[in-house]
Structure 1
C-alpha cells in the first residue's frame, strides 16, 4: 500500500509521525476532518491554514457554513471550503473510510492524492486519511482556468477499506453531471468509471 501523507502546517508527516529527514511531497493538500463544535478546527490532519486576511476561509480550510464564508473562488461543501474555478469534481461520502477521488483528463493525466496537480487541475481537499468518524466528508479536484475540452473520467477508490458505503460525485462548471455509487470494504476497491464531456468551443 503506498505511503499516505497528512499536512500539518509546514510539516508533511506520515500518519505514524514526522520523519526528521523526509522530503516534503509538493504541493500541500488540505486534509479535511469533521468540524469540532466550539473550536472551529478541522479535526486531525488539518491543513494548518488560517484563512484569508478578510476572515474568509481559503480552499480546504475549516469551518464554513455558506459560500460567503469562503474566498471568491471557493464554495462551501459539507463545511469545507473547496476550490471551484471553471470546473470542479467533488466527492461526498459519510462513511469512516478513506475514499479517494480520481480524475482522468483528456490527455490521460490522472489527478489524485499521489499526483495532485496535472493539466490545470488540482486536488485541494483530501479527507479521512486518518479515522474521521461519520458525517459529510469531502474531496475536491478543481480547474481554476478553462479546462481542456474532451472526455474526462472520474471514479472513487476505497484506499484503506476501513468501511463500506455510498458516495456522490458532482461535476460543476464547464460540465454538469451527478453520479452516485457504493464502495465495498477492502483496500483498493474501485467504483464504476464515470465519464463526462467538456465541450469544445
Structure 2
C-alpha cells in the first residue's frame, strides 16, 4: 500500500471490501482509533478527526463549506461523468449548466478529462425549506465503464446531516429530499 501525507490529511490506497483499523497518534501524544471498510470498486473515504488542520477542513471534500452544502464523490475518477443537481426551495435547479440560483453556487464540476471525482453545491446561509438533490450518470468518458459508486453528503457547516450512497448505471438517476431549517 502507499501513503500520502499533507499536514493532517492521510490517504491510503487499500484493497476493496476490506475492514481496516486505524490509529492516529497526534503530536500532543493523544491517540484516536477506529475502523473503516472499503467499498466494492474502490472509493475515497475521508476520515476527518477532531484535530484536523486547515487542509482537512470539510472532511477532505472539494469545494466551499456551506449551510447547506451538497457534495458528490464518485469512483472511476476520469472514467465517468456523474452530475450533481440540487433543486432549491423555490424550484430553481443548480447544476453544471446553471451554476447559481436562490443564493446557492455550484463551485466544483467534474467532467470527462478532468481527472477528478467530486462535485459541490453550497450556500453561505441557505433559505429554509425542502431541497431535492440527485445525481445523474452523464457519460462514460469513452472508457466503456457502465457504472460508478457514489456518496452524496449533505452538510451544515462541516456537520454531516445526511449521507446517501449507491451505484449508478449508465442512463440512471436517483433523487432524495432534505428539509433545511
State if a TM-score over 0.5 links the two structures: yes
TM-score by length of 1: 0.55
Taking structure 2 as the reference length, the TM-score comes to: 0.60
1:87 to 58, 63, 68: 68
Distance between the aligned counterparts of 1:67 and 1:87, measured in 2? 22
- Whole-Å separation in 2 of the counterparts to 1:77 and 1:158: 23
> How many Å separate the matches in 2 of 1:102 and 1:190?
13
Contact 2:81-2:140 within 8 A present in 1 as well: yes
Q: C-alpha root-mean-square deviation of aligned residues, in Å?
A: 2.5
Q: Distance in 1 between matches of 2:85 and 2:127?
A: 17
1:68 shift after superposition: 0.4
The aligned counterpart of 1:97 is 80
Check 1:140–1:67 CA distance in 2 against 1; reply closer, same or farther (3 A cut): farther
Q: How many residues align?
A: 124
1:184 aligned to which of 162, 169, 177: 169
- 1:68 is aligned, of 48, 54, 69, to 54
Q: Shift in Å at residue 131 of structure 1? A: 5.8
Moved over 6 A (4+): none
Where does the alignment leave 5 or more consecutive residues of structure 1 unmatched? 1-36, 38-64
Please tell me whether Structure 1 or Structure 2 has the larger radius of gyration of its CA atoms.
2
1:193 maps to which residue? 175
Q: 1:69 is paired with a residue of what secondary structure?
A: helix
Task: Name the structure with the higher strand share.
Answer: 2
Alpha-carbon distance, 1:76 to partner = 5.4
Partner in structure 1 of residue 128 of structure 2:
149
Match of 2:17 in 1: none
Q: How far apart, in 1, do the equivalents of 2:96 and 2:53 lie?
A: 25
CA shift, 1:69, in A, is 2.6
Query: C-alpha separation between the residues in 2 aligned to 1:192 and 1:198?
Result: 20
